[in-house]
Every structure is written in C-alpha cells, then in structure tokens.
Chains A and B, each alone.
Chain A
Amino acid sequence: MENFELPVAGLSSVLLIGKNGAGKTTVSLALEVLQKIARGANRVDDVVRPKDLARGRADVPMRFEIEVNLNGQAYKYSIAFEFPPGFKELRVFEENLLADGKPIFTRELAQVHLATTNREQAANFLIDWHRPALPVVQERSPNDPLFIFRQWLARWVILRPIPRSMKGNSEQETLQPSAESMDFGAWFSGLLAYAPASYGTIDGYLKQVLPDIKEIKNPVIGKDSRSLEVQFFNEQGNVTIPFSDLSDGEKCFMICALVLAANTAYGPLVCFWDEPDSHLALSEVGLFIMALRKSFQSGGQFIATSHNPEAIRRFSDENTLVLYRNSHLEPTIIQPLSAFKVKGDLVNALIRGDVEP
C-alpha cells in the first residue's frame, strides 16, 4: 500500500470489496499496527518489519495516521518508521498525538516532548528509538485525552477468526481479544467481569440464532483456568457441549454476540471483521450482517470485508468501498462503489469482474 487512505469518516458500517489480492486483509493488518501500539507493543519489530516496506524500498518511510472524534474532541495520531542503512529493524523517526490541534506529545527519533497542560509543565525525555512512545507516556488521569485515545485504540476489535482453533479455555481475562479469537474464553471472562449485564445482550442474540440454547457456562477446570461450555435444551432434555465442539458457524455466532455486547459495554468500538460470513449458512448471512450494522448505528464503527453475495447485498453504494490494483507492482486504490456507476445487479457485475475503473 502507498498513500492509502481509508475513507470511513461518518459511516457507522462499511463494506470493503475487491478481488483476491486487492488489499482488503492488508487494511486490517495496517489497522492492527496502530492497535498493537496502543496495546503496549514493546518494540517496533513487534508491529512492523523491514519486509513490510512497500516493495522493499528502504529509502521511503512508512507512516500511519489516524484521525478520530471522541467525546467531541478531535484526535490525530501519527507514527512514522524508517529503515536506515545498517539497521536490523525499523526505528521510529516521528510520532505525534494531537487533541483538537494541540500536541499532547511530539517525538523525533529518541526525543519525546510532552506538551504543557493545565496542570503539568512541559517535559522532555529520551526513549529507545525502537519503541513507540504512545504506550509509554504516562497519563495523568482517566480523563486525560492521552488515556481516552489510547484506551479507545487498544480496544479495537480486529477479527480474522479461525473457529476450528477456538477452544474456549482461558487462564486470564481480557477486553482486548486477538484477531484470530484464540483467546475467546478470556474475552468472554473479561467482558462479564467488566460488565456482568453484558450476559443479557449475549444471551438475547444467541437465543435468536440458536433457539435451543439454554446458557453458557464457564466453569473452573483447574488452577486459574476455565473452559466454556454451552447447554442446549428441548422437550427431550438437556445436552451440554464443550465450546470447542461447536461448529465453525456457531462459534462465529458466539463472536458476534460478544462484539454486540462489547460495543454496548465498553464502546464505541471499531470492529474490523475480515469475511464475517465465511462459515455461515446462506440463510443466516444477511441477518448476521444486519445485526452488526444495526448495533453499530448507535455508536462505534463496523468494517467488514466480503466476497459473499448476500453480505454484499446488505450494504449499499454509500457504505461500500472497492479496493483494486492493476498488478502486484502497483499500489492498492480505494474508491466508493458509487464512483463506478454500476448498471444492473451489483453482484452480477462483480461476478463478471466489471466493477473496475
């Protein structure tokens, strides 16, 4: 990607479409760079590596920027990496966080400058140039704009789940699930510990998609360790199934339930879900997408990628973005679907490969 901007401002839900290799998943990986920094990445090498430089061009810096409005305050964070000759990993050469245009901190290479606030004097300190400053700078209180922004960014939910590998076991709690959802059990535990009423949202959604579900249990199975199990019932009786034995699609319902509950409990969230329809029955896809789109109307942002006709039909021109590139030697370009003036049925146009400039 080069000079790539994701134009999602003002949209509560967005669909990214495009051919294989157009760059849809790469968008999630780029967003994950910012998320990992906010989650406390210790080293630049944990988030970007020299191989990530566009076509290996070490003379061009790699820059990430994000702008967001939170609680009426406009935040802008940017971080740029470079790969000087002789280095084995990239280093930060510039990093800034601004709120309403005023710097919270600025950084050039190892030198970090904390701006003056109402209560604090300006300060300078040095930091290893292989470490991002965002997770290191100490907030003054939970109302500190630095804390608000960092927590919001750290709580992004970026999903590329591998249901077959989701076991439902946990030894700790988290509100920051991994992209592959291998820590689903820890997310479930963390969400209910943070907001016990979330179980109502989870239960309400799951009863719509799995009418015979009775409850989800999370019993202790060893020292500091739990394992999710799901109880179903009908007039013939009850059956309890370990979470790991649920089908791939059923596990996706579980993830969806947690996304809906998390957005209510500690949102507004940004949720990026790469192909959320992958394991779902055709009769479920549209309803699944609509449940997510509807939830994020009242706050947060839901971004999905898809090749599924039914998922694509549940979005509209105004919230569908098309990614394309002419070859692997050229950068990804993104444009709103409305720019393509598709005639007739969109899905048929996609099948024909006609949605191109």
Chain B
Amino acid sequence: MSINRYLPHVLVLPEDDANRELANGFQLDPLLDTRRMQILGVAGGWGNVLDRFREEHIPQMDRYANRFMVLLIDFDDQQDRMTRVRAEIPAHLIDRVFVLGVRTEPENLTRNLGSYETIGKAMAKDCRDNTEVTWTHPLLRHNAGELERLRKHIRPILFSDI
C-alpha cells in the first residue's frame, strides 16, 4: 500500500529538480523507512512552493494530523525569505512544517560535496546519526534551527528502527 496517512509520515515538496535530487539521496539512506516519506513533484520556484502549500497541503494537513511537511527551497541569499515563508504557515501547523534549503542555490553545493544524491545521502546520515558533517557547510549551516526541530520531530518517524 502507499504511505499510510494515519501513521506519522513526511511529505517533501521540492522547489526544483536539484532539490528533488537532494531528497532522492536523503530517501536512499539504508536505514530510512522508505514508506514514511513521499517526495512530491517539483513546484517550480519557491513562490510556487508556497502557493501549493497554501492551496493543496494546508487543508490536507488539517485532515491528517500525522502528516508532516518539509518545504525544500532555495534561499537565493535573501535573508528575509525564511521569515516570509514561515509567515505563510498557520500557527497550528508550525510544529509540523519545516523549511530547509541552500543559502544560495543547490548548484553551488555540488562543487564541494559531490552530486545531489550524494549530498542528500550525507544529510540523511547526519540527521540519522546526530552528526553535523554536511549540515555545517557554509551553504547549509543557516538551517541549524530547522535541523534541530527536524531531529526532534522527523527523525523518529523516518528512522524509527534506530
């Protein structure tokens, strides 16, 4: 069966193909419970991520209390983007929605860390093992706050056997 909507699960909404490939790598972690994570089609820009989140996902999150969402966006060096995105998340859902992304664009990450899938796998390993090897990269370390929340709420869902 597909993902069980009545058990804790995570939907990942990527802005573009680069973020989708990062999510693919994350889901390939050998200890991750594949059936607790569904990667959605790319939204095509961070604005579209917000539109889709508002129009499609807020009503469904209200319906399914065990649904968590990760919005994968590019911050494009815009310091206020996180504030703008988080402002769109209803207060009653704030604990179930996470906003992650590269400070500039994911393309810049690959020069240092390898392919998107490789980076995604490394991010999953960090999340799984409570390490910070990849997440402390200059283009990722601004996610520290969200990573902390991720570890608290998402890690037990995706790595339930650990």
Which A residues fall within an 8 A CB radius of B?
208-211, 281, 283-284, 286-287, 290-291, 293-294, 297-298, 309, 313-319, 342, 344-347
Contacts and interface: CB of A to CB of B under 8 A. Distances in A.
Interface in B1-36: 1-3, 16-17, 20-21, 24-25, 27-28, 30, 34-35
Contacts of B39: 286, 313-314
28 contacts: A208-B1, A208-B35, A211-B1, A281-B2, A284-B2, A287-B35, A287-B38, A290-B28, A290-B34, A291-B34, A294-B28, A298-B30, A313-B20, A313-B41, A314-B24, A316-B20, A316-B21, A316-B24, A316-B25, A316-B116, A318-B116, A318-B117, A344-B17, A345-B17, A345-B41, A345-B42, A346-B17, A347-B41
Given A298-B30, A314-B24, A318-B117, A286 B38 contact: yes
Given A314-B24, A314-B39, A317-B17, 4 more contacts: A283-B2, A287-B3, A313-B20, A313-B41
Shortest 7 CB-CB contacts between residues of A and residues of B: A283-B2, A316-B21, A318-B115, A316-B117, A290-B34, A345-B42, A316-B24
Given A286-B38, A287-B35, A347-B41, A210 B28 contact: no
B47 interface: no
A294 B35 contact: no
Given A317-B21, A345-B17, A209 B28 contact: no
B90 interface: no
Interface of chain A, helix or strand or loop or mixed? helix
Contacts of A281: 2
B24 A209 contact: no
A293 B120 CA distance: 15
B44 interface: yes
A287 B115 contact: no
Contacts of B24: 313-316
Contacts of A290: 27-28, 34
A315 B116 CA distance: 11
Contacts of B42: 313, 345
A1 B1 CA distance: 39
Interface string B76-113: 00000000000000000000000000000000000000
B125 to A, nearest CB: 13
A287 B17 contact: no
A284 B3 CA distance: 8
Q: Which of A286, A317, A346, A347 has the most CB of B within 10 A?
A: A286
A208 B33 CA distance: 10
Contact of A209 (B1, B16, B30): B1
B108 to A, nearest CB: 16
Contact of A283 (B3, B17, B30): B3
Contacts of B16: 344-345
Nearest to B31: A294
